[in-house]
Amino acid sequence: MASLTLKETLVRLRDGRLNARELCERCLARANKLSSLNMYISRTERGARQQAERADQCLHKSGQEAKKALEGIPVAFKDNLCTRDAPTTCASRMLLDYRPPYDATMVSRMLDSGAVLVGKTNLDEFAMGSGSTDSIVGPVKNPWTLLFQKTPHRYRFRANQSGCCQLETSPKLSEDEVKVRRRGLHTSASRLSQSSTVLEPADQSGSGLQRLSFEDDSDWLVTGGSSGGSAAAVASGTALVAFGSDTGGSTRNPASYCGVVGLKPTYGLLSRHGLIPLVNSMDVPGIVTKTVEDAAIVLNTVAGHDVQDSTTVTDPYQPVQLDDRFSLEGVHIGIPKVKYSSSCCL
């Protein structure tokens, strides 16, 4: 189930092969099992179950009544988007107990479309960062860390006497050390590649996935940032959609690190109302999904003018239509070669 795209999940919810409460419980279970990744600052389990039950009631209604666009879909929001029913901390001690009196427009439009809020995701404090490492609750760890156990070398940066950073590698690990790193992990490279970059548990219920642990504090990969928690939430299968914010790459950067799709819509296309600002003239709510098609579905749900945000475009929104005939056949992608040395300066 964790490998399903948003579009595939919507089809299953509407034809009765899947119900919203079951989907919600599995996402919450995965979030609990993968809590060591530190993706979430808070999880809204009670409210999520109530929203999922209401979604099931709507989905099971007979007749031709139109279903809401995202009925029953688990969604997570970066913790700088205001939520009335959950704290909004911006990963800062300053706002640790702050509970907004209103929902951000992105939150209200997603909930009005039937989505289920499963939690608020971790970030760099006040979204000022590019690694999701500077948070009052600690750094976000990339779900691909599960594959890092297969890497025989450990990489780190250390400042030299002149203040420059050096890339260092520790000696190759022994077989016993590698086995220790892999202990308790149920994800292999082949399984990950077969599940659309989403981590799959040993069994479909999620009960076979043990809590992730690390032998030491350096044994993990960064998610990028500052919306690292949102990217990790989608990559790990704990949410089908997540919202971040993007000022200079804060949604696209972690999406690329975590192997998912990150979209920064054109400024003014999405409302910033309720998004705690970093740079007002550049901030944009960002969308994180598994596929481009999923991102278009979410964009079409939340885009459009908002009277609460004078910078939103007033012209009627024209929904994005993707061409099914689009193909990457014949497209060539160039990847520059990068050489690292022990004296490399960043």
Catalytically active residues are 78, 226, 250
Report the alpha-carbon distance of residue 74 to residue 72 in Å, rounded: 6
d(C-alpha 62, C-alpha 311), whole Å = 41
Long-range CB contacts for residues 43-48, cutoff 8 Å, separation at least 24 = 43/118, 43/119, 43/120, 44/85, 44/86, 44/117, 44/118, 44/119, 44/120, 45/118, 47/85, 47/86, 47/117, 48/24, 48/74, 48/116, 48/117, 48/118, 48/119
Is the peptide bond preceding residue 226 cis, with omega within 30 degrees of 0?
yes
Tell me how far apart the alpha carbons of residues 305 and 308 are, in angstroms, rounded to a whole number: 9
Write phi, then psi, for 155 (nearest 5 degrees): -110, 145
d(CA 56, CA 21): 7
| Contact (CB, 8 A) for 31 and 212 | no
Q: State the angle between helix axes of 105-112 and 292-302 in degrees (0 to 180), rounded to the nearest 10.
A: 100
Residue (of 255, 194, 258) closest to 34 by Cα position: 258
Whether 278 and 247 have beta carbons less than 8 Å apart is answered as yes
Closest by alpha carbon to 100, among 119, 111, 86? 86
Identify the residue whose tokens are 């209200």: 108
* Residue 193 to residue 208: CA distance in whole angstroms: 19
Q: How far is CA 65 from CA 11, 12, 147, 172, in A?
A: 16, 18, 45, 62
Cα(38)–Cα(33) distance, rounded to whole angstroms? 11
Question: Hey, what are 305's tokens?
Answer: 């003018």
